[in-house]
Structure 1
Amino acid sequence: MNKTTTLLLLLFPLLFTTSLSKDLCHKDDKNALLKIKKAMNNPYSFISWDPKDDCCTWNSVECGNANRITSLDLSNDDVSAQIPPEVGDLPYLQYLIFRKLPNLTGEIPPTIVKLKYLKYLWISWTSLTGPVPEFLSQLKNLEYINLSFNKLSGSIPGSLSLLPKLEFLELSRNKLTGTIPESFGSFKGKVPDLFLSHNQLSGSIPKSFASLDFYRIDLSRNKLEGDASMLFGAKKTTWHIDLSRNMFQFDISKVKVAKTVNFLDLNHNGLTGSIPVQWTQLSLQTFNVSYNRLCGPIPQGGDLQRFDAYAYLHNKCLCGAPLESCNVIIQATDLYL
């Protein structure tokens, strides 16, 4: 072995160690992350964020191909703080998650509007207040918005319908008021899964919803009223529909439900008419029409008898299995007359 070969062998471990210690993370991203850590009072989830280390190796973050921060995820922490404005200083961020942080307060900072590559925004189970930001409509790459289980108030910005790539919109369990925006009847892109339950929304559903084919829609536990029959249709591909605990009033007798429907909950409304025979063709895992004003026999067949009486209770004169037979109801009515 000559002297040159020996020297290279001796230097190789040093060269290898030097290459590993090289900081791949962009210095601007590292500075922004350290500011975020300080502003959030050094949460436990960020304990690995040592300035001496490559920030691409830190917990709760991920780097993309260009070694720029593309994901920031702070979840299940007892941090007491607000979302720092420096979040907007991570220009290549695609995934932003603040989840199960009960002591996270304040509003969603407007600096988020700088995140032009943001695809996935999940802020839930916090104590955030303020409105659903209008500026979210400027983030044209957003595909997923989940702002559920917060304390957000005010109306839903109709401009969210302008997002061309939106596939999922979840605003449930807040304190939102007002009506469902008329613009939601004409989303610019595909029709997203829409979850607006457990708010204080009022008014009627936009009539333009008749032309939309929601795969999943949940409007339960609001103060919505009027006709919701336009959400149904035999040619639609809906899988999940929950209208429970509102004030909807329409005749379901001629309502045809898509054969794809698996979850159908209409309880606690003012629905009238009788259950259509066509509903026996459905393959249902969840079904409830209790606390309405339905009448007539429950059609026999399909999955309708697979559910117990709880799914049908407290209707005007609904009868047949799993409730009392229609003959018993008729006899009781004759006696009363």
Structure 2
Amino acid sequence: MKTSSFFIISIISILTCLNLPTHTLSQTCNKQDEKVLFQIKKSLGNPYLLTSWQKTLDCCQWYNIECDRNTSRIIALTIFTGNISGQIPPQVGDLPFLQTLEFRKLTNLTGQIPPAITKLTHLTTLRLSWTNLSGPVPAFISQLTNLNFLDLSFNDLTGSIPPELGKLTKLGGLHLDRNKLTGAIPESFGRFTGSVPDLYLSHNQLTGDVPKSLGYLNFTVIDFSRNNLTGDLSMFFGPNKTIQIADFSRNKFQFNLSNVEFPASLTSLDLNHNKIYGSLPASLTGLNFQYLNVSYNRLCGQIPQGGDLQKFETTEYFHNRCLCGSPLSAC
């Protein structure tokens, strides 16, 4: 009995002296996942960024990889900021437990978004941004029903926004900004049945009126800036709304601002370079603004005195039809 106890204690001591990481003892990379990762590495031309992807090291310890602690299956593949050329390998679809897929800040990454990603039924985060991906925003992304974050910004994507994206009921954030998208904002974006996502569509070539259906939702963040959109934006505001940040600058919006009721939650409002007319509502003085810009419109009347409105520079108010009062010239 003493011999057995001594033997067990000796083994524990040896392991302690070796100072092995605890995950080495409990976590061994799934061999099928490892095989797929080597295929991905080869498809990308064995880049320096993936140097740690070697058979001498358990793949759960590779850079850009995260494994589930219980199953040792790959749950995150995050490749970013490196000299990688080629296209997104279709083999990414062969990592069946993947929850996060990220290819970001890879300016030599080209081609289109591969249909193979539809096999990733557990995916919650898809981030393909700051690359040279081209082609359309694929409608098949709507098959990834567990997505809560979709970022396709800073690419060369073209064509219209697929209305099918409105079926993603778990989305908390949707980034399609900084592309070359055309056409209208889909009516379906006013029918998100789950959470209402922060919506970023700026720096595209979108046209047409913003669908009235979007006014039925309670957005927190909206950025439609630098497009060619038209219509009335007052539907996004009201005493019961929860919008905090709204950027509608550099479009062709045209409506009367005089009687718009703004919610107490609003902290940032950018309406510059539109065709908005009327006067600034006195209720604006009751809001805690971090940013406000109404320049280059067709506003008239006196800027309401009080609150945060006088803390901004003249540049946030100038180039209107007949707006006056501090910080502009007296009426």
Once residues 239 and 228 of structure 2 are traced to their aligned partners in structure 1, the CA distance between those partners, rounded to angstroms, is 27
Partner of 2:233: 228
Once residues 146 and 192 of structure 1 are traced to their aligned partners in structure 2, the CA distance between those partners, rounded to angstroms, is 12
Once residues 187 and 224 of structure 1 are traced to their aligned partners in structure 2, the CA distance between those partners, rounded to angstroms, is 21
Aligned to 1:29, which of 23, 27, 33?
A: 33
Look up the SS of the partner of 2:37 in the other structure: helix
Partner of 1:50: 54
Partner of 1:203: 208
Aligned to 1:107, which of 112, 129, 135?
A: 112
Partner of 1:186: 191
**CA distance 1:185–1:2, shift in 2 (3 Å):** closer
Structure 2 counterparts to residues 1-337 of structure 1, below 5 A: 20=24, 24-64=28-68, 65-326=70-331
Once residues 313 and 284 of structure 1 are traced to their aligned partners in structure 2, the CA distance between those partners, rounded to angstroms, is 18
Q: Deviations over 1:56-111 (max 9, x none)?
A: 11110000121100000111101111100000000000011111111110111100
**CA distance 1:159–1:9, shift in 2 (3 Å):** same
> Percent same amino acid among aligned pairs?
54
8 Å CA contact 2:27, 2:72 repeated in 1: no
Once residues 224 and 2 of structure 2 are traced to their aligned partners in structure 1, the CA distance between those partners, rounded to angstroms, is 79
**CA distance 1:312–1:63, shift in 2 (3 Å):** same
Aligned-CA RMSD value: 2.0
Work out which of the two has the higher radius of gyration on C-alpha atoms and give 1 or 2: 1
Q: Deviations over 1:239-265 (max 9, x none)?
A: 000000000000000011111101100
**CA distance 1:53–1:277, shift in 2 (3 Å):** same
Aligned residue type for 1:24: T
Once residues 248 and 130 of structure 2 are traced to their aligned partners in structure 1, the CA distance between those partners, rounded to angstroms, is 23
**CA distance 1:12–1:200, shift in 2 (3 Å):** same
Aligned residue type for 2:121: K
Q: Deviations over 1:20-44 (max 9, x none)?
A: 4787111111111010011011222
**CA distance 1:219–1:4, shift in 2 (3 Å):** closer
Unaligned runs of 5+ in 2: none
8 Å CA contact 1:36, 1:87 repeated in 2: yes
Q: CA deviation at 1:52?
A: 3.1
Q: CA deviation at 1:228?
A: 1.6
Partner of 1:331: none
Once residues 4 and 229 of structure 1 are traced to their aligned partners in structure 2, the CA distance between those partners, rounded to angstroms, is 79
Q: CA deviation at 1:53?
A: 2.3
Aligned residue type for 1:127: N
Once residues 94 and 103 of structure 1 are traced to their aligned partners in structure 2, the CA distance between those partners, rounded to angstroms, is 25
8 Å CA contact 1:22, 1:54 repeated in 2: no
**CA distance 1:250–1:34, shift in 2 (3 Å):** same
**CA distance 1:13–1:40, shift in 2 (3 Å):** farther
**CA distance 1:3–1:149, shift in 2 (3 Å):** same
8 Å CA contact 1:45, 1:60 repeated in 2: no
Q: Deviations over 1:259-293 (max 9, x none)?
A: 11011000000000000001111100110000000
Aligned residue type for 1:119: T
TM, length-normalised to structure 1: 0.92
Q: CA deviation at 1:170?
A: 0.6
Look up the SS of the partner of 2:214 in the other structure: helix
Unaligned runs of 5+ in 1: 327-337
* Deviating 4+ runs (over 2 angstroms): 1-23
Q: CA deviation at 1:212?
A: 1.1
Look up the SS of the partner of 1:213 in the other structure: coil
Look up the SS of the partner of 1:294 in the other structure: strand
Once residues 4 and 128 of structure 2 are traced to their aligned partners in structure 1, the CA distance between those partners, rounded to angstroms, is 58
8 Å CA contact 1:23, 1:55 repeated in 2: no
